[in-house]
Each structure stands twice: as structure tokens, then as C-alpha cells.
Homo-oligomer: A and B are copies of this chain.
């Protein structure tokens, strides 16, 4: 089983990295770019676990290590 985790800055938190990238894109001539938000993308290999078990475990990993839930949201897909 493989998990894909997306960690993004919460909507009401200032994304400084995104703002910097937006500025850089503007200065390079990509003026059409509006808001930029940057997050993390993780691929985890999970071995042979069933889907319900994997769901619980990946949620725990996100809460404990992968996302800072004070300022970040996360979502995941299992395949």
C-alpha cells in the first residue's frame, strides 16, 4: 500500500514562501500569476497493511510528525 500526503499552510496563515515565489515569478515576466501557496508532498510506502489500518496509521503520522496542525492542513490518499 502506498500513501500520498499533501501538507498545506492553512488559508488564514501567511504563506511567506508562496509570496516570495509570486514576487520572483512577477519579476521574471509571469505577471498573470496571482496567489501562490506552497506545501509539501510526501509519498510513503507502507508494506502489506489493510486499508482501514493504513488510514489510522497515516492519520497518526500526520498528526504527530508530518504536519504542524497549528498552521498546516493535511490530506492523504491511499492506493
Residues of A within 8 A of B (CB): 6-8, 18, 21, 24-25, 28, 30, 32-47, 49, 57, 60-61, 64-66
Contact = CB atoms under 8 A, between A and B. Distances in A.
Q: How many copies does the complex hold?
A: 2
Main secondary structure on chain A at its contact with chain B?
mixed
Given A25-B61, A65-B21, A65-B25, A36 B32 contact: no
Contact of A61 (B30, B40, B46): B30
Nearest to A35: B45
Contacts of A65: 21, 24-25, 28
Contacts of A7: 41
A45 B21 contact: no
Nearest to A2: B34
